Structure 1
Amino acid sequence: MDVLLTVVVPVYAVEGYLYQCLESLRAGLSAEENALVEVIAVDDASPDACGAMLDGYAARHGDLRVVHLPGNVGLGLARNAGLAEARGEYVWFVDSDDWLPSGSVRAVLERLRETEPDVLLVDHLRVHENGRLQTDASSPLLAGSVDLSRLLGVQHTAWNRVMRREFLAKHELRFPAGWYEDVPFSNPVLIAAERLDVLNRVCYHYRVGRFGAITATRSDRHFEAFEQWDRLHAWLAAAGVAPALKVRMFTLMISHLLVVAGNESRVHPSRRRAYFRRIAALYRRHRPDGYLPPAGTPGLKHRLVAANSYTAYAALRTGYRVAGLRRRSTERTPAVSRDVPAPPRAVQGASLR
């Protein structure tokens, strides 16, 4: 029986989460369904026991292929290494500190056979360190008809889309090196797809706030996001995409970078001014004809970027943070069940954090 789905799992310094991830990939599958799936784990020269854990797991179960890289190359290039070994018609990149809820692989297999898309988008839940489950702010965009402009607003990650390998090869879509490697990969994947489908079902549990995760690490490497967005705009220009899509991507880019700038878990306060200046430079470099700032507070922040007015941006951010602290001090936060997703708190890209 031919392999329908290859799951590629890049692995680095996640020994406390690795077994949960691996066990979730085949949980509940029948023998026939199991034969349709292959799992490739890429040991990205992990400094802990992950390499040995993978070899032991493969020896015990016999249904895991392990690729050991001689040196650490980073998440994007590790994914490419797994993709190069894949035999499945489709590929799904699953991060090794995350896991799939029961029934996810079966649901994905059924949908792939039913609609035969180039790209299948799936929904996810954010999982906090205390176990609380939260619906992502962009998840409502998956409801309704398949509309590219709307779906570009879904969180731009590799793990929420399942892709046909021939489609990736045809369009030469691979991950670049560096942080924010998803930006110049996941957006072109949607734009280039001729057959795009959505499985509006939670098929992924995304762990947030984990110590050591890129999104929870203060570092100047977050400045690498600018190079990745430059790569995306170069692809958009070469692909000759419609002006409306260029406007959409530009708006999403500025909103995304403002979220990063305002997140103290990523950009140190002493580096926020420099980060803001880089956003303003990117704004001037890529602003497309027909662009208009969004409504409300997000639009105000876009205008401050256009004016390169960090002082006003900082004052606005401080005002909203103070107001938020006062509001939370007077409100009693209701408990949220660990088994029931919390409602989305904000529109993606609009957080002032």
Structure 2
Amino acid sequence: MHAPLISIVVPAHDESGRLGDCLDSVLRQSFADVEVLVVQDRSPQTPQTLPASSRDPRVAVLRLGAAVGVGQARSAGADRARGGHLLFLDADHTLADGALQALADRLREAGDPDVLLFGHAHLHAGRRPGAAAELLEAAASGTFAPLERPELFGAPAHSWDRLVRRELWVREGLRFPEGLYEEVPVVVRAMLAARSAAVLPRECVELHRRHTLHPAGSPGSSHFDIFGQYERAFAHVEALGPAAEPVRVHLFDRMVRHCLFVLELGGCVPRASRQAFFRAAADHHRRYLPAGHRRPEGREGVKFSLLAGGSYSAYEIAKLSHIAGGRVASRLR
């Protein structure tokens, strides 16, 4: 049986009712050398009746007998995949028109790299590019070993903005761990293990939710899982020794930005837990601070400094002062 070029794994967790749009966006692509693995578990966020597009012959439905998180569902789909490269999508993602053909063309041009990075767009409240757009543009030419571009480890660690060669996935025994933010150590390990990588500076995946937080972790997960996931990621970096030292700076900055984003995003960390979350983030700042680290400029640098100081009350006062200052400035305009 012919092995497809790309296997697309889609956990059926669907809080926004967009799974059908996701599958339709894949199946209407002009490039058809794909298989789609829809992973259906027994969690409340998973529809038990799948959309009509799931009956397309290129779609296989894998039914799990328990309620699991998105990470375990992705791993189960990857285990069943036959394609040369893996792409992980969430139910409320869609592929831009022509995306798969552009990815296939870039794979061929780049000599079939282990990892192919590409752009994404947020469609909530108007189209805007993902946070890593400038990094991708800067690395868009040629093929490289990821350690030659350590700045790419400072980009958000998403599993759906890259193709990963399935041979690399199997060779490294990659699997998503339990809990939320499970993408972080997997993406870091895949990038460290890749012998070659390339970039397609094109927005291939479209996000329809407001923030890039995946829909569900495994039972018992919480936003405090982020700390264990970065511990795993840094362990992978440290296992490579001095060769991976340039990665530490960029991964550290990504960790701090990520933790502060989660802390400040409404609906993530309950008010009663915010101080404990801040202290855990400050502890990770101390543990993983690279020698000679230079903080970012401007307001972001102030946040880094406040986290380094470890005082949650000072952090909250500074935040309230900034909000108040913004209100005054708006009245004066």
- Scaled to the shorter chain, the TM-score interval is 0.7 to 0.9
The runs of at least 4 consecutive aligned structure 1 residues that moved more than 4 Å come to 212-215, 325-331
% identical aligned pairs: 33
5+ residue gaps, structure 1: 332-353
| In the alignment, structure 1 residue 100 sits paired with structure 2 residue 95 | yes
1:327 and 1:117, CA in 2 relative to 1: closer, same or farther beyond 3 A? Answer: farther
Letter in 1 for 2:194: A
Q: Secondary structure at the match of 1:202?
A: strand
1:192 and 1:224, CA in 2 relative to 1: closer, same or farther beyond 3 A? Answer: same
Of 121, 126, 130, 1:136 maps to 130
1:244 and 1:71, CA in 2 relative to 1: closer, same or farther beyond 3 A? Answer: same
Q: CA deviation at 1:48?
A: 6.3
1:83 and 1:190, CA in 2 relative to 1: closer, same or farther beyond 3 A? Answer: same
Contact kept in structure 1, 2:71 and 2:177, CA below 8 Å? yes
Corresponding pairs, count: 319
1:113 and 1:220, CA in 2 relative to 1: closer, same or farther beyond 3 A? Answer: closer
1:140 and 1:118, CA in 2 relative to 1: closer, same or farther beyond 3 A? Answer: same
Deviations 1:251-282 (CA, angstroms, capped at 9, x unpaired) = 22112111211222312333221111111111
Deviations 1:221-277 (CA, angstroms, capped at 9, x unpaired) = 111111111111122222324222112211221121112112223123332211111
Q: Distance in 2 between matches of 1:49 and 1:293?
A: 42
Q: Distance in 2 between matches of 1:136 and 1:209?
A: 12
Q: For residues 12-91 of structure 1, what are the structure 2 equivalents within 5 Å? A: 12-14=13-15, 16-29=17-30, 33-34=31-32, 36-47=33-44, 50-53=47-50, 56-59=52-55, 61-91=56-86
Task: Give 1:308's aligned residue.
Answer: 310
What TM-score, normalized by structure 1, do the two folds share?
Answer: 0.83
Q: CA deviation at 1:16?
A: 1.8
| In the alignment, structure 1 residue 290 sits paired with structure 2 residue 292 | yes
5+ residue gaps, structure 2: 141-147
Q: CA deviation at 1:150?
A: 2.5
Deviations 1:73-117 (CA, angstroms, capped at 9, x unpaired) = 101111000000000000100111111111111111111222211
Contact kept in structure 2, 1:6 and 1:91, CA below 8 Å? yes
Task: Give 1:204's aligned residue.
Answer: 205
What is the root-mean-square deviation of aligned Cα atoms in Å? 2.4
Q: Distance in 2 between matches of 1:197 and 1:326?
A: 47
Task: Give 1:126's aligned residue.
Answer: 122
Letter in 1 for 2:312: Y
Q: CA deviation at 1:328?
A: 5.6
Task: Give 2:275's aligned residue.
Answer: 273
Q: Secondary structure at the match of 1:152?
A: helix
